[in-house]
Amino acid sequence: MAMLDTRGIGAVTLLKRTFKEFGNDDMSTYASALAYRGLFSMFPFLLFLIALLGFLDLQNFFDWLRMQAALALPPMAMEQINPVIDQLQEQKAGLLSFGIVVALWTASVGFRSLMNAMNRAYDVEEGRPSWKLILLSLAYTVGTAVLLLLSAGLMIVGPQVMEWLASQVGLKDVVVLLWTWLRWPVIVLMLMLVVALLYYVAPDVKQEFRFITPGSVLAVLVWILASIAFGIYVQNFADYNATYGSIGAIIVLLLYLYISSAVLLFGAELNAVIEHASVEGKDPGEKVPNA
């Protein structure tokens, strides 16, 4: 597939180069910073997302949010998320207040940190004006919220509509079974879109938008596998409460965010390695080809 073209680099060579660049660019430090930013931004972003939900009056979204978070996060991390969702659910929906705007701003700070890390992967200096960086970070934060709401609509409204349609022609059981399997590819596609947009707008380089890239495919697949493996490890082998006491859940969440950040940055490094190795691509430090 052209979308997964590695420009003639073998898989083993590509992974070796990517690991080398990952270390040379000190991406583990960037992943640590992003994990902290993510933890700092998570609850303000959740507050902003639920404030937007007030306009749509989708009460079932809270149950969906718990379900999706439980699929992605370890159980101990959910101990920190559930009380926040409960408190926010009790608040009445209304206009976005000044506090929500501040929360949106705080959540967008994490994306600006991602921009710096992506620039490091492509070996370029940030040259965009501050106002553009702020607008991009705010737009991506809002866009992520919209994608989550769209996913909620597919998971909540979609099955109800299809069950009603199927009941009219006597195919209810078939459609319900079909949707049970189809909803997971939908979630993966939404995740792929979020990652593709991130890899497109975050680095200060000129490039075409591609929904599927080798880096995004690797990042999404490894993130899913890492989430499953980490959840199994926490449930069966690690006792963070015994080690860290009441802050055990925070430690788990921070570690999970670090793993997620590292996977995301590794995918960006892989795309950058392919770009720099291509004859028609950009050399390290170039923002446009043959600059």
Contact between residue 252 and residue 234 where contact means Cβ atoms under 8 Å apart: yes
Successive 10-residue mean pLDDT values, the chain, 291 residues: 63 88 90 85 67 59 64 62 63 52 72 87 85 84 73 60 64 67 78 86 84 87 80 64 62 83 91 79 64 54
Q: Which residue type, as a one-letter code, is found at position 167?
A: S
Q: Are residues 253 and 73 in contact, defined by beta-carbon separation less than 8 angstroms? A: yes
Tokens found for residue 230 = 């980490």
Structure tokens given for 256? 């999970």
Domain boundaries, the chain: 2-277
The tokens of 114 are what? 């991602």
SS3 label, residue 226 = helix
Measured distance CA(84)–CA(81) in Å, rounded? 5
Give the dihedral sign, CA 72/78/84/86: positive
CA dist., res. 116 & res. 203, Å (int): 8
The predicted pLDDT at position 54 comes to: 57
Q: What is the pLDDT of residue 94?
A: 47
**DSSP secondary structure code for residue 284 in this structure:** T
Q: What is the pLDDT of residue 19?
A: 92
What predicted TM-score, i.e. pTM, was given to this entire model?
Answer: 0.73
Long-range contacts of 103-107 (CB under 8 A, 24+ apart): 103/44, 103/45, 103/47, 103/48, 103/51, 104/44, 104/45, 104/48, 104/138, 104/141, 104/142, 105/138, 106/40, 106/41, 106/44, 106/45, 107/41, 107/42, 107/44, 107/45, 107/48, 107/141
Indicate the SS3 state at residue 3.
helix
Spatial contact of 46 and 84, defined as CB atoms under 8 Å apart: yes
Torsion 1-148-36-231 (CA) sign: negative
pLDDT at 76: 62
Rounded distance between C-alpha atoms, residue 289 and residue 291, angstroms: 5
Tokens 């937007």 belong to 52
